[in-house]
Amino acid sequence: MHIKKAAAVIGASALALGLAACGGDSADNAAGGSDNYILVNGSEPQRPLLPADTNETGGGRITDVLYAGLTYYDKDGESHNELAESIEPEGEKSYRVTLKDTKWADGTPVTAKDFVDAWNYAVENSQMNSSFFEPIKGYEDGKPLEGLAVVDDKTFTIELEQPEADFPQRLGYIAYAPLHPSAFDDMEAYGENPISNGPYKLLEWNHNQDAIVVPNEEYQGDRKAQNDGVNFVFYAQQDAAYADLLSGNLDVLDAVPDSAMSNFEDELGGRAVNQPAAAFQSVTLNENEEHFGGEEGKLRRQAISKAIDRDEITQTIFEGTRTPATDFASPVVPGHSDNLEGVDVLKYDPEEAKRLWEAADQINKFDGELEISYNADGGHQAWIDAVANSIRNAIGIEAVGNAYPDFKSMLDDMDNDAVKGAFRTGWSADYPSLGNFLIPLYGSNGSSNYARYSNPAVDTLLSDAATAASPEAAAEKYNEVQTILFEDLPAIPLWNQNVTGGYSENVENVEFSWRSLPVLHQITKN
């Protein structure tokens, strides 16, 4: 299986490394406009707002409402047609797509060519999410996709290299959205001010401050906006966002800070949100770094994993709003198992942790301190400090947190393999499948493989899962992958996270989706 590795990726939508933000501390910094905008927390996008080139939280939540694709996911993760009238199989590995009559925000009809050109551009130009097109026939970095063909304005066909059990299920992910024909004149400029075909269109993007979207009058789909617009306010600290929520200066918050975990449900009452989501948190070590490659690295990662008291941290820091991890995915994803072979490596055992670390020292002595990097704007310091303390006490090394000022700057260093020691990672699902947690993070050329991990046995099983006869059969293969990952630990799973958020008295019809994000289009002002 060839899984393309983008040069600088952190998944989709993909890699939800928590609430992250740059810029102002309050909604007072928001751009002027309608009093009826829904004020939500956000973060400065790392890149221009292009669907196949956006795979981090800040940009992802904006592109999700600017663009409409063939399908979309409802709040429970069920897939529904959006721009597609039908997606009909033609044999085992081909599909015929027929589009509804829809328009871009400027009134231009959305055509089959808009999809085909966008997908080809993503692969030809190695955009961040280009690996999502890997199943299509002729996938090769820098070249158009042989398996795409425009039939007419409303019809195109997709031919895969091989049968893929869950391919139609993937099409709700933002990478598969189309692009307006004008995008190809100047893609970077277009990404700063894109033409929308989704429920909202971009009004303003004030860098490092906020972004405002307003209803797209041309959109007639199921996600039609029920409000006057959404203002994504970029916060430097979660505590400031929570304070604004309590004071009514923020309408919706999707990540309560550690400082409020013990009392947010009391303070917000029925407006508090605490529910499972398809997301997990982890710590990663780059295998190319000294001490963390080969057998030495495997021993050290196992030692670190067993040195972390997940039960204690999830109770004391997160007040029970996190659940210690039992796999590399999420309990809300079909096929999840909490009894996989090798799962014991996630259990706290300080004596075994010490033994494993000393065994690694016999290969190559580790001196100095172990840094665990994190973005300070995401509210992670408390648990990072707790993890570092747990490692310190169990193994006897100096483990310390290393704060980056914001999410973007940490991502940039991760892209360039410039982060030393360990670093905080995580994942929020792009589509509801075990494969979405495993392929981008642990395939040899996975788009978000920041461990730089490569195991041919894992790649083979990922390929086998992709071609399985059913989602159930695929899940069995994916769980075989996980048994290998427990041995190698390219990332160290910590816990599955609930969405812990809330909303103000100024809004109603607030629901959070399976991806832990508020369903923005249905929120209304009181």
Domains in the chain with CATH codes:
277-499 (3.10.105.10)
* Tens-place pLDDT, residues 44-55: 998 999 999 997
CB 88 within 8 A of CB 151: no
In the 3-class helix/strand/coil scheme, how is 406-433 assigned residue by residue?
A: CHHHHHHHHHCCCCCCEEEEEEECCCCC
Residue 264 has pLDDT above 80, yes or no: yes
Is pTM beyond 0.85? Reply is no
Sequential DSSP letters for 367-388: -SEEEEEEEGGGT-HHHHHHHH
Residue found by looking up tokens 């395939």 in the block? 443
Mean pLDDT, residues 217-244 taken together:
95
CA distance 153 to 136: 21
Instruction: For residues 59-87, give the mean pLDDT.
Output: 95
**Does 31 score more than 80 pLDDT?**
no
Q: Is the pLDDT of residue 480 over 50?
A: yes
Name the pLDDT band for 131 (thresholds 50, 70, 90). confident
Kindly indicate the confidence band of residue 34, based on its pLDDT and cuts at 50, 70 and 90: low
Token reading at 402: 């290393």
The answer to whether residues 284 and 320 touch, using CB atoms and an 8 Å cutoff, is: no
Which whole number is the average pLDDT over 317-327?
91
* Separation CA 87–CA 74 (nearest Å): 18
The pLDDT of residue 377 is: 84
Coil/strand/helix, residue 242: helix
pLDDT of 96 > 60? The answer is yes
Q: Which tokens go with 9?
A: 């990726």
Return the percentage of the chain with pLDDT > 70, whole number.
93
- On the question of pLDDT at 9 being above 60, the answer is no
pLDDT band at 35 (very low <50, low <70, confident <90, very high): low
Q: Are strands 369-375 and 422-428 parallel, antiparallel or unpaired?
A: parallel
* CA dist., res. 290 & res. 308, Å (int): 22
Q: Does the pLDDT of residue 15 top 60, yes or no?
A: no
Mean pLDDT of the chain: 90
Segment 407-424 mean pLDDT: 92
pLDDT in tens, 441-458: 999 988 889 999 999 999
Q: From CA 402, how far away is CA 345, in angstroms rounded?
A: 25
- The string of pLDDT tens digits covering residues 175-198 is 999 999 999 999 999 999 999 999
